[in-house]
Every structure is written in structure tokens, then in C-alpha cells.
Structure 1
Amino acid sequence: MRKVVGMKLTNRLVAFVTLIVVCAMFVLFIGGAVSFRKLGTDFLSHYLKQVVVQIDDAVANPIETENIGMWLPKLLKASDVVELEISSRTGLLYRYDQIQIAVRPVELVENRYELPNNPGFFVTVKAVPPYADFAYSIGPMFSLSLAVLFIVLSLAWGIRWLKMQLHGAELLEDRGRMILAGRAEEVQKGDEREWPVTASIALDQMIAELRDARQERSRFDTFIRTNTFLDKLTGAANRVMFDNRLQTLLQDKGAHGAVMIIRIGEWDALVQELGKSGADEWVKEVGNVLSNAVQRFPDAILARYYDTEFAILLVHQSGKEARLFANQLMKALERLTPPEVLEVENWAHMGMTFFTTGERRGRLMEEADMAKRSAVLQASNGWYAFKKDVVAEDARGSVRWRTLLTRVFENGGPDLYRQTVKDTLQNYLHTELLARIKDENGLVVKASRFMNGIDLIGFNSRLDRTVVTKALQQLRQGDGREILAINVCAESLRQRPFQKWLRDALLQTPRSVLNRLMFEVSEGPLVNHFDGVRPTLRMIRALGCPLVVDQAGRSVVSTHYVKDIQPKYIKLHRSLVRDIHLRPENQLYVRSMLGACEPTPTQVLAVGVESEHEWKILMQLGVQGGQGRWLGAELSGSPATRKRQRWRKQ
């Protein structure tokens, strides 16, 4: 993969031009200095040759030889000759030494000349080199200084002109860096000064096409998920999603609740009397009433099971609560005005059955259908419950939940169980902390069961504060390598007091600890309250804590949040993972989720992996990691606590 060069194009070109000009000036100065020196040396040599000619003529004439000591010193002194010797093979004829010379001997120029008119005689001359006594002065060096100044000014002007010409290229380069940083939406339209213009226009067009393609991809993925698990007419869940959720729930330990089937008449009679559009409008009207009724139960599921039959799944609700809800639901339906083809007093019938962990889904649906038929035989609007012996937990009201949870928080808060999350090579990714409490009888209660009580009495922020405090304490006391993930409620993230407390707690924590703490938020509440929780999530991410979205796929929602808050992981709901090797529709949903996260660094993890077959299919689909009993069972307490417990057992 190619790396982005840190130095800008303009800086590189400016550095190149400056280097070339400086090198040219350096070469010019070196060449000029050598030329000046060579010219001075040649001039001195030529001048000394003329002096040697005069000496040669004087030595050849005996009369002038006697007078050589009178005129030669003056000539040599004027010529800056320091030493001169006239000698022959027999010995020294004449010697001249100049007194008070400032130039060091090593810097003198020494030459030796033969006397042509006097064979056997030669002259040795040591003279001061040319320009030895000259220093810089404005006058003689004015032209050279002016040339240097002109070159410098020209270079500065040229660099400025070059930067102005390449400013468009810098803008285009900055735009490219923004795109590589994942901020293409901020630079969808380029500056008019960008250069080359063709590249800028092409980039505008490519970004626009990419944006349209992503939107189309998002719409297509949402369309796939919607058509796979949602009913087109009412927007409720379809039969596939209902069966998946019920099958997954029946395999969870401690699960219990009720299944209801509501029949609102014969589809063929409605279509014949009202037409297809009229029948659809009637079904939509009934679906709206049922949807408003089940909103009081956060985990309830409403599905259009057949054309004129709806199914409702109530989770962790006692028989008393389910019967009360059935009465309220029938009263809400009786307030509707049915079409003329239906009897006013005999058009809505509901069958209900109860379930606990370990029962078969097919058997439950048969029981609910039998109860529905019994309600139809009553020939009036009403409901009927299938009679069976089901041991279910008694319903807790707000008072009992408040008493239990207050006692839990007074004793230090919920216990944090641990479960590891691994990648496809089963290498450690992080550890998720799972909140558990104990009821009056000492039985462990999962978060999926006591969260209803938390929401009922408004202990969301109290629970999240306790979990965050315990997680930070474990990270500070740990070995510095463990990564923990904790679950927080979207309702708490919307509250201003909790936001301030969380901000102060994170600001007082070292960055090295925050980088090892991940916050998980459920997908459904996140999308429903996205505008309220988005500032808090961005603050958490800015402080160094990665974000995780869990329970993805529990409800069919848009995945626009992926690009906005940029979570590190998205965890699929266990209902999508359970027996995925036998459910092509679940595989299609997972592929759609992977496609939605493909243009982002977000990775998709699977939760609730229970078998090798599920794990193999998930890896083939492209899931980056998983969590479940097949990869690692839940463990109670921190590593230090478990170590002490093992020591005590030993």
C-alpha cells in the first residue's frame, strides 16, 4: 500500500528550485575565484619574465653587472618580490631579501627562470601572490554585489510566483488528505482555485457518484433487512423474525413469558367485500392499535403471522401480567369500527399460551392456535388461555423491584461477570463485563430480566455509574493489557447529570486506561434517541474510549449511525446467530450488515455462538469475531478474585 508523502508539492518544488539556484551561484563563485587567481598568477608570471629579461641583459654586460645592486632592489620592491637569487653552477652571484614583509612565507609564489643569454645562470624569485593585500570594498565589488542581490531578489520573486501558481495543487492535495482521512462529505465540492482543473472536476464527480452509491447501498441493505424480517404492509415483524426470536428465547436459561395470536377475521371475505386496498387499510389500522399496545413492554415483539393474524411475544412477564394485558388489548380492539363484512361483536379473537425455557417452538404455536380456536368457538370478541402447568416467576411490581435493587446497590452494586471476545483466529480481542444480581433467594438474575425493573423505577444512571466505576477500578488494578467492555443505557446517556459525572470521571483517568475501556450501547435505543445520545458518544470517543453497538438486528433499523459515531465493533444479536447454518434469511441479514459496515473501519462481531457449525458459517460470511459459550464461558468476578478463590479451594 502506498504511503502519503508528508512534504507538500509546493515545498518540494521550492526546495528544488532554491537548491538549483544556490548550487549555480556556488559554482559561479568557485569558477570566478579560480579564474581570478589564474589571471593574477599569469599576470605575475608575465611581469617577472620581463624582470628576468632585464637581469639577463644586465648579467651579460659586465658594466651593468657592477651596477645591478643599485637599480634592481627598487624594481623588485615595486614588484612585490620578496626574495631573488642569481646563481650559477659555481655559486651565488647576487641575492635580494625584502625586509618587513607581512605575508607568510608559505603563501609566497616561487618561480625559477633560466637566463638564455647567460647559459648556466638561473634566477629564483619568491613574490607576493596577486590580490593578497586586497579586501572587500563596495567600490570594486559593487557590480558583483549587485549581481548577487539581483539573483536573491529574483529567487524570492520566483518562489512567490511558483507558490501562487501551485496554490491550486495544494488545495487539491489538502482535499485528497481529507478524503483519505474519511471526511469526504466535508469536501464534496472542490474550490474553484484547485489545479489541475480536470482532476478537481473529476474528483467532484467521483465523490458525488460515491455518495449516491453509498446511499443506494444503504437503501438496498435496509431494503434487504426490511423484506427479510419486516412485514411490508404494517411495518411489524414478520413470521420469520418472530420464529427466530422465539426459538432463541426458548434456549436461554430462565426465560419465560407468553405467546399470543390475534385473529381479526377472514382475509378472503375482506378482500371480496373491501377489495385489496380496503383490506390492507383495515389490517394496518388493527396493526397500529396492537403496536401502540405492546410499546409498554420493551422486549415485546409484534408480528404479522398470517394475512389477518398477528402474533405477540411477551418476554419475562408473569401469567397475571399477561392476562391483564390481554384484557386491555381486547378493549382497545373493541373500540375500533370493523368493516360491514365482520360482525361487530364477533371479529377479534385471541389465543394465549405460556412458556418457559426448553419448550419446543412448534408445540407452543400449536397451543396458541388451539387457544385461538377456543376463543372463536365462544362466538364473541374475547381471548382464551391454553391451560398448562408452567412454573413462571411471579410478577414484581415497582415496590418489589425497588426493594431488591436498593438492597443490591447498598451492598456494592451488581456483580460483573466476564466473557471474552475473540477474532476469527480465536485470538483475544477484549472482555465484556456482564451485570448480574441475586434475588431474595440467592439466584443469579441476568440483565435481560432485571433491566425491566431498572427502567420501571428509574435506576438506569445509578446502575451505569456503578458499572463504570467498577470497570475503571479493575483497569487500574490490572496488568495494563486487558481491554474491558461495559454496557451503558441510552437513557442514562441522555441525562445531563450523568453526562457531567461521566465526563469528570473520564477526565480524571489516564489516557492509557481509557484506551482499554469500551462502551456498549444497544442498537434499538441508540437509534430511537440518537440525537440525544450522540453528543455524549462523541465525547466518549474523543476522550479515547472506543464505542461498541450491541444487539444489532434485534429490531430492523437504519445503520446511518455507523458513519456518524464510527463504532469500533457492531455485535449481532444472538437471535441472528442461533442456528444460522440452518437459516438462510439470517445469513442474508448478516451479509447486509457486513455490507453496511464495509466502507468504514467498523468490524462486525457475533454474540451467542454456541456451536462449531454456527462459527464456521459466520467466518464464511465475513464476521471478524465472536462471543459465546463455544468460544469462552462466562466467569464470575475479576481475575484477582478468581485466583484467590482457586487458592482457597486448593
Structure 2
Amino acid sequence: MRKVAGMKLTNRLVAFVTLIVVCAMFVLFIGGAISFRKLGTDFLSHYLGKVVVEIDHAIANPTSNENIGLWLPQLLKASDIVELEINSKTGLLYRYEQIYTTTQPLELIENRYALPSNPGFYINIKSVPPYADFAYSIGAMSSLSLAVLVIVLALSWGIRWLRTQLLGAELLEHRGRLILAGRAEEVHTGDEREWPATASIALDQMIAELREARQERSRFDTFIRSNTFLDKLTGAANRVMFDNRLQTLLQDKGAQGAVLMIRIGDWDTLVHESGKEGADEWVKEVGNVLSNAILRFPDAVLARYYDTEFAVLLTHQSAKDARLFATQLMKALERLTPPECLEEENWAHLGMTFFTTGERRGRLMEEADMAKRSAVLQGSNGWYAFKKDVVADDARGSVRWRTLLTRVFEAGGPDLYRQIVKDAKGEELHTELLARIKDENGLIIKASRFMNGIDLVGMHGTLDRRVVGKALHLLRTGDGREVLSINVCAESLGQRAYQIWLRDTLLQTPRSVLNRLQIEISEAPLVKHFDAVRPTLRMVRALGCAVVVDQAGRSVVSTHYVKDIQPKHIKLHRSLIRDIHQRPENQLYVRSMLGACDPTPTQVLAVGVESQQEWKVLLQLGVMGGQGRFLGAELSSSPATRKRQRWRKQ
């Protein structure tokens, strides 16, 4: 893999030019110094040779030989000769030595010369080195100083000119670094000064094409998900999504609720009398009323089951609440003005049935259809409930929920159960902590049920404080290697008070602990409160915690948040995973989600893996990991409870 150079192009060229100039100046300086020394040495040798010739002539001439002691000392002193000896084979004939004072000790130059006119005689001379007494002088060294100054100024000007010329290349390199860092959107258009211009223009065009391709891919993925699980006309869920959700809900322990089938007339009659556009407008109008009616139930599902029939799935609602909702729904529909082809007092009929865990989906839809037919036989707008025994009919209101939750929080908060998340190789990725509470009778209630009470009484912040506090305690007292993931409500992350508490709590926690904590948030609430939640999630990521989005695919929403907050993992909702090997439409949805996460480091995980067939298909699709009873059962975080659970498993 190619690596990005650490030094900028301009700095490398400037360093290279500066090094070349400095090396050239150093070579010239060394050469000049050697030349000066050589010239001085040659001059001294030539001068001393002349002195030796004079001494040789004086010794050979008897007349001059008598006066040599008079003029020779003055000559030697003027010539900076420290010591001179005239020797022969018989011994020393003459010796001269003067006292030479200097602030620094000098290494004298010693030379030996033979006297041609006096065979057998030779002279030893010790003299002061050339330029020994010379110091730096501006006048004497002005030319050299000026040359060095000119070179330095020229080098400075050259470097500035080089930086100016290469500014475009440096801008282009900086832009490339931002693109490699994943910030291509910030530099989708280059600076006009970028050079080479052809590379800059080509980069602009490539980024524009990449943006268009990503937008097209996002639109295509949304189109796939919408056409797979949404009705084109009303925007509600279609029959496939409704059946998936109902089938998944029926297999969950402790599930209960109601299925409602609403008939608003005959489709063929509507099309024949009002035309295709008129019939579509009537269906859309009824769909809007139904969509507004189910807003009070966060987990409710509205689907266009047939052309003029809608289905509503109410989860974790008692029979009393379902009957009250049916009455209110019929009153809302009666306010509409039906087309002329429909009887004003006999066009809306609703059939309802109740369910608990373990019932068959096909049987429930038959019961709802039978109840709807009974409502039609009444001959007027109304609803009819299929008569059956409801095993679990816990009509818990806001007062009971508040009492129960207050007691749980005063006792320390909910119990945390563990479930391991594994990758494709079977190795542990992290452990998810699942909140559970106990009711007045000691029965365990899952989060999917008591979250309705949390929404009803508005205790999101209190719940999340308890869960975060327990998770941090487990991380501090653990083995230092386990990674824990906790679920946090989007409503809490959007509250200012909770944001301040979470920030202060995380700032007081060591970085090594925060790196092993993951914050999970559901996809639908995240998209709904995205503007309020985004700053908190970015703060959490900056402090070292990873962000995970769970329940992806529970409702069809845009995946633009993937690129914005770049979560570490996206967990697919269990309704997409259940019997995925038998549902091509669910496989198509999973492929679409994988395509949306492909340009980012986000990994897709599956939740609710129950069988080998499901796990095999998910791995073939490209899912990076999974979670479910097939990969690991839920275990309590309490040491005593975990010990009993392990014993029962054995």
C-alpha cells in the first residue's frame, strides 16, 4: 500500500536547493582556505630560499663571512624566523634564536636547506606560519564577505520565488490530503491557483462524478427499500413488511397486542365510478387519517394490506386500549366525506383480534378477516372484535407505570443482561447490555415492553443515567479487555440537562475505559431527532466512545446519517433476519443497507440470528457479524444469576 509523504513538496524542494547552495559554499570555502594556505606556504618557501642563498654566498665569501653576525640577525627577525642553525659535518657553526611572544601557541614550520656553494653545510630554519598574525578585517575580506552576502540574499529570493511558483502544487497536495482523510465534500471545488491545472480540473470532475454517483446510489438504495417494504401510493408499509413484523413479534417472549383490519369500500367500484386517480386520492386521504391516528403508539405499524384494506399492528397494548383505539379510529374515519359511489353510513368497517406469544400469523390474519366480515354484516360503519381469550391483558396505565418505574430506579435501576456479538469468524466483537426490570410479581419485563411506560411517563433521562452508570462501573471493575455496548434513548441525548451530565461523566472517566464503551441508539428516533442528537453523538465520539445504530430497517428511513456521524456498527432489526433464507425481499433490503455503508468504515451486524440457515445466508450477503440466541444467549450481569444460568445450560 502506498504511503503519503510526510514532507510537503515545496519544503522538500526548498531543503534540496538550500542544501545544494550550502554545500557549494562549503566546498568553495574549503577550496579557498586550502588555496590560501598553499599560496602562503609557497611564498614562505620562496622567501626562505632567497635568505638561504644570501647566507650561502656570505659563507662562501670570506669578506662577508666576517660581517655575517652583524646583518643576519636583523634579516632573520624581519623574516619572522624564530630559530636558525648552520651546521656542518664538524658540528654547529652558527645558531640564532629569538623570543617570539603570541597569545596562542603556534606550530612553527621547520625546513632544512643544503648550501650548494658550501658542500657539507646545511641550514635548519623554524619560521612562523603564514597568515598567523592576521585577523578578520572588513576591508581585507570585504570582497569575500560581499560574495557570501550576495549568495545568501540570492538564496532567500530564490526560495521565496520557488514557494510562489509551487504554491499551486502545495494547494493541490493539501486538497489530496483532505480527500484521503475523508473530507472530500469540503474541497469538492479546487482553488484557481492549484497547479498543475489539468490535475486540478480532473480532480474536480472526479469528485463531482463521485458525489453524483453516491447520491444516485443513495436514491437507488432508498428506492429499493421503499419498493420492497413501502406502499407507493400511501407511503405506509406494505403487506411484506407487515407480515415480517407480525411474525417476528409473535416469536418474542411476552409479546401481546392487537391486529386491526380496516376496509374502506370495494376497489373495483371506486375505480369504475371515480376513476383511477379519484380512487387513489381517496385511499391516500384515508391513509393520512390512519397515519395520524397511530402516532400515539410509537411501535404501531400501519400497512396497506390490499387495495382498499389497511392493517394496523398494535404492540404491547392491552385489549382495553385496543378497543378504545378502534372506537376513536372509527370516529376519525366518519368525519371524512366518502366518494358518491360509497354509502355515507356504510363504507368503513374494522375487524380486530388479539394475540400473544406463540400464535400463528396466518391464523391471526384469518381471525382479523372474520372480524372484519362480521363488521360488514352489521350494515353500518363500525368495528367488531374477534371473540377469544387474551392470555396477557396487562392494562397498565401511566400511574401504574410511574409507580413501578420509580420503585425500580430507587432500587438502583434496571437489571442488565449480557449478550455476545460475534464477527464472521466467530470471535467476540463486543457484549451488549440489555435492560430488564421486574414487575410487582417478580416477572421480568423486557425493554420492548417497559419502554412504552418510559415514553408515557417521560423517564428517558433517568433510565439512561442508571444504565450508563452501571456500564461504567462494570468496565472499571472488569478485566480491562471486554467491550460493552449500551442502549441510550434519542430523547435523552436531545435534552440539555442529560447532555451536560453525560459530558461531565465521560470527562471524569479514563480514556482506556471510554474506548471500551459503545453507545447504541435506535435508527428511527435518531433520524427523527437527528439535528438535536448529532452534537451529542459527535461529543461522545470525540471522547473515545464508539457510536452504534441499532434496529435498522424497522422502519424505512433515509441512511444519510451513516456518512454524517459514521457509526462503528449498524445493527439490522430482527424482523429482517427472521427466516431470511426464505425471504428474497429481506435479502434485497440487507444488500441495500450494505451498499449504503460501503463507502464508509461502518460495519453491518445482524440481530436476532436464530438458526444456522439464517447465519449462513447473512455471511454470504456480506454481513460482518451477528447477535442472537444461535450465537450466544442472554445472561444476567449478576454473578449469582449468571452462575445459575450456566448450571442450567450445562
Give the TM-score range, shorter chain: over 0.9
**Distance change >3 Å, CA 86–CA 563, structure 1 → 2:** same
Quick one: distance in 2 between partners of 1:494 and 1:96?
103
One-letter code of the match for 1:586? N
User: Do 1:570 and 1:605's aligned partners in 2 also have CA atoms closer than 8 Å?
Assistant: yes
Is the aligned partner of 1:124 residue 2:124?
yes
User: Do 2:515 and 2:545's aligned partners in 1 also have CA atoms closer than 8 Å?
Assistant: yes
Matches within 5 A, 1:30-429: 30-100=30-100, 102=102, 107-429=107-429
What do residues 128-185 of structure 1 show as CA deviations (whole Å, max 9, x unaligned)? Answer: 1111111112221122122222222222222222222222322222222222222222
Quick one: distance in 1 between partners of 2:501 and 2:281?
49
How far is the alpha carbon of 1:346 from its aligned partner?
Answer: 2.4
User: Which residue of 1 is the match for residue 488 of structure 2?
Assistant: 488
SS in 2 for 1:454: helix
How far is the alpha carbon of 1:234 from its aligned partner?
Answer: 0.4
**Distance change >3 Å, CA 100–CA 526, structure 1 → 2:** closer
How far is the alpha carbon of 1:603 from its aligned partner?
Answer: 1.4
How far is the alpha carbon of 1:491 from its aligned partner?
Answer: 1.5
User: Do 1:82 and 1:101's aligned partners in 2 also have CA atoms closer than 8 Å?
Assistant: no
How far is the alpha carbon of 1:84 from its aligned partner?
Answer: 2.4
**Distance change >3 Å, CA 199–CA 459, structure 1 → 2:** same
User: Which residue of 1 is the match for residue 7 of structure 2?
Assistant: 7
One-letter code of the match for 2:534? R
User: Do 2:538 and 2:565's aligned partners in 1 also have CA atoms closer than 8 Å?
Assistant: yes
How far is the alpha carbon of 1:76 from its aligned partner?
Answer: 1.9
How far is the alpha carbon of 1:105 from its aligned partner?
Answer: 8.5
Larger mean CA deviation between 502-511 and 205-214 belongs to: 502-511
One-letter code of the match for 1:551? Q
User: Do 1:413 and 1:466's aligned partners in 2 also have CA atoms closer than 8 Å?
Assistant: yes
What is the TM-score with the length of structure 1 in the denominator? 0.95
How far is the alpha carbon of 1:390 from its aligned partner?
Answer: 3.3
How far is the alpha carbon of 1:35 from its aligned partner?
Answer: 0.1
User: Do 1:225 and 1:556's aligned partners in 2 also have CA atoms closer than 8 Å?
Assistant: yes
Aligned-pair identity (%): 83
How far is the alpha carbon of 1:571 from its aligned partner?
Answer: 0.9
Quick one: distance in 2 between partners of 1:541 and 1:470?
20
What do residues 366-404 of structure 1 show as CA deviations (whole Å, max 9, x unaligned)? Answer: 222222223333333222222333312321111221221
Quick one: distance in 2 between partners of 1:641 and 1:545?
29
User: Which residue of 2 is the match for residue 449 of structure 1?
Assistant: 449
Quick one: distance in 2 between partners of 1:405 and 1:61?
133
User: Do 2:635 and 2:645's aligned partners in 1 also have CA atoms closer than 8 Å?
Assistant: no
Matches within 5 A, 1:568-579: 568-579=568-579
How far is the alpha carbon of 1:281 from its aligned partner?
Answer: 0.9
Quick one: distance in 1 between partners of 2:645 and 2:356?
33
SS in 1 for 2:75: helix
Quick one: distance in 2 between partners of 1:410 and 1:100?
101
Quick one: distance in 2 between partners of 1:449 and 1:323?
19
Quick one: distance in 2 between partners of 1:645 and 1:487?
23
Larger mean CA deviation between 468-477 and 409-418 belongs to: 468-477
Larger mean CA deviation between 22-31 and 59-68 belongs to: 59-68
In structure 1, stretches of 5+ residues that fail to align are: none
One-letter code of the match for 1:446? K
Quick one: distance in 2 between partners of 1:526 and 1:587?
24
User: Which residue of 1 is the match for residue 28 of structure 2?
Assistant: 28
User: Which residue of 1 is the match for residue 561 of structure 2?
Assistant: 561
What do residues 103-140 of structure 1 show as CA deviations (whole Å, max 9, x unaligned)? Answer: 98872222222333333333322221111111112221
How far is the alpha carbon of 1:502 from its aligned partner?
Answer: 2.0
Larger mean CA deviation between 535-544 and 282-291 belongs to: 535-544
Quick one: distance in 2 between partners of 1:320 and 1:135?
111
**Distance change >3 Å, CA 67–CA 640, structure 1 → 2:** farther
Matches within 5 A, 1:452-463: 452-463=452-463
Quick one: distance in 1 between partners of 2:23 and 2:17?
10
Quick one: distance in 2 between partners of 1:524 and 1:33?
81
Quick one: distance in 2 between partners of 1:60 and 1:536?
109
How far is the alpha carbon of 1:439 from its aligned partner?
Answer: 1.0
One-letter code of the match for 2:220? F
How far is the alpha carbon of 1:240 from its aligned partner?
Answer: 0.8
Quick one: distance in 2 between partners of 1:97 and 1:103?
19
How far is the alpha carbon of 1:349 from its aligned partner?
Answer: 2.2
**Distance change >3 Å, CA 380–CA 202, structure 1 → 2:** same
What do residues 395-445 of structure 1 show as CA deviations (whole Å, max 9, x unaligned)? Answer: 111122122112211211111111121221222222211110111111100
**Distance change >3 Å, CA 560–CA 25, structure 1 → 2:** same
Quick one: distance in 2 between partners of 1:633 and 1:374?
44
User: Do 1:259 and 1:314's aligned partners in 2 also have CA atoms closer than 8 Å?
Assistant: yes
Quick one: distance in 2 between partners of 1:494 and 1:46?
96
Quick one: distance in 1 between partners of 2:206 and 2:451?
47
Quick one: distance in 1 between partners of 2:247 and 2:546?
33
**Distance change >3 Å, CA 27–CA 640, structure 1 → 2:** farther
Matches within 5 A, 1:527-546: 527-546=527-546
User: Which residue of 2 is the match for residue 18 of structure 1?
Assistant: 18
Quick one: distance in 1 between partners of 2:621 and 2:268?
41
How well do the aligned residues superpose, as a CA RMSD in angstroms? 2.2
User: Do 2:256 and 2:315's aligned partners in 1 also have CA atoms closer than 8 Å?
Assistant: yes
Quick one: distance in 1 between partners of 2:393 and 2:518?
34
**Distance change >3 Å, CA 321–CA 135, structure 1 → 2:** same
Quick one: distance in 2 between partners of 1:449 and 1:140?
98
Quick one: distance in 2 between partners of 1:506 and 1:101?
78
In structure 2, stretches of 5+ residues that fail to align are: none
Quick one: distance in 1 between partners of 2:379 and 2:366?
21
Larger mean CA deviation between 486-495 and 379-388 belongs to: 379-388
How far is the alpha carbon of 1:615 from its aligned partner?
Answer: 1.5
Quick one: distance in 2 between partners of 1:403 and 1:104?
99
**Distance change >3 Å, CA 642–CA 362, structure 1 → 2:** closer
SS in 2 for 1:233: coil
What do residues 186-213 of structure 1 show as CA deviations (whole Å, max 9, x unaligned)? Answer: 2222222222222222222222222111
Quick one: distance in 2 between partners of 1:71 and 1:463?
115
Quick one: distance in 1 between partners of 2:640 and 2:126?
93
Quick one: distance in 1 between partners of 2:290 and 2:486?
34
Quick one: distance in 1 between partners of 2:253 and 2:644?
28
How far is the alpha carbon of 1:73 from its aligned partner?
Answer: 2.3
How far is the alpha carbon of 1:638 from its aligned partner?
Answer: 4.7
User: Do 2:435 and 2:446's aligned partners in 1 also have CA atoms closer than 8 Å?
Assistant: yes
User: Which residue of 2 is the match for residue 472 of structure 1?
Assistant: 472
Is the aligned partner of 1:627 residue 2:627?
yes
What is the TM-score with the length of structure 2 in the denominator? 0.95
User: Do 2:270 and 2:341's aligned partners in 1 also have CA atoms closer than 8 Å?
Assistant: yes
Larger mean CA deviation between 458-467 and 56-65 belongs to: 56-65
How far is the alpha carbon of 1:82 from its aligned partner?
Answer: 2.1
User: Which residue of 2 is the match for residue 548 of structure 1?
Assistant: 548
Quick one: distance in 2 between partners of 1:96 and 1:179?
83
What do residues 201-237 of structure 1 show as CA deviations (whole Å, max 9, x unaligned)? Answer: 2222222222111111111111111011000000000
Quick one: distance in 1 between partners of 2:201 and 2:318?
65
One-letter code of the match for 2:420? T
Quick one: distance in 1 between partners of 2:644 and 2:500?
36
Quick one: distance in 2 between partners of 1:542 and 1:206?
31
SS in 2 for 1:295: helix
